């Protein structure tokens, strides 16, 4: 079974985090949420999220993909944790999927993973990174780096993640059950 780590910090955008976790789980993918300190987090809109585990425990396991939700100050809290920077660098070096939405692509840029790569983000989140080939699409894929713009694009983002890990048929099955059309 494919597995995905979704690290969360206080101030993470709960709509992005829960959408990704929910859609991955609907596809039968093991999606694990992990807070930086092992405690529940308060999202950017005040919703309290209880995580599956703490980051220290999660880092003992091997994942096929890491997905970073945005939101503030969640993005800054994740970016300030050296374990997160090391995690995304290690995942990229091991040819694993590294994904981020909203302001969180700035974490990938800080880690040096977006230099010369196509990426999208919440407007302005990558302005300080001139080496990023900024795109305006809802979801952008450059190799095994997948980025998305924000809460409104979370479902499209999550469905692409399902497609990459479980195939187009599984994505179509999950999307059909969501009654999007």
Beta-sheet strands, E only, within 9-142: 30-35, 41-42, 48-49, 53-54, 65-68, 97-101, 118-119, 133-134, 139-142
Q: Is 99 a catalytic residue?
A: no
Given the residues 102, 113, 132, 166, select the one marked as catalytic.
102
* Residues of the chain under the 70 pLDDT cut: 181
pLDDT in tens, 96-134: 999 999 999 999 999 999 999 999 999 999 999 999 999
Residue 180's pLDDT is 83
Residue 108's pLDDT is 98
Determine if the pTM surpasses 0.95: yes
**Treating both helix axes as pointing N-terminal to C-terminal, what angle do 168-178 and 154-166 enclose, rounded to 10 degrees?**
140
Give the CATH number of domain 3-178.
Answer: 3.40.50.880
CA 133 to chain centre: 19
């Amino acid at each position: 079974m494919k597995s995905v780590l979704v690290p969360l910090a206080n101030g993470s955008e709960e709509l992005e985090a829960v959408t990704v976790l929910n859609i991955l789980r609907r596809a039968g993918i093991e999606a694990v949420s992990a807070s930086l300190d092992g405690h529940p987090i308060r999202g950017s809109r005040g919703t309290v999220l209880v995580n599956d585990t703490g980051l220290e425990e999660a880092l003992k396991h091997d994942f096929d993909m890491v997905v970073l939700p945005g939101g503030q100050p969640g993005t800054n809290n994740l970016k300030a944790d050296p374990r997160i920077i090391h995690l995304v660098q290690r995942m990229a070096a091991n040819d694993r999927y590294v994904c981020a939405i909203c302001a969180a692509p700035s974490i990938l840029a800080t880690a040096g993973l977006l230099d010369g790569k196509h990426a999208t983000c919440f407007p302005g989140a990558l302005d300080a990174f001139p080496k990023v080939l900024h795109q305006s699409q809802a979801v952008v894929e450059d190799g095994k780096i997948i980025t998305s713009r924000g809460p409104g694009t979370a479902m499209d983002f999550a469905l692409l993640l399902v497609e990459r890990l479980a195939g187009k048929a599984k994505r179509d099955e999950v999307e059909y059950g969501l009654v999007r059309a």
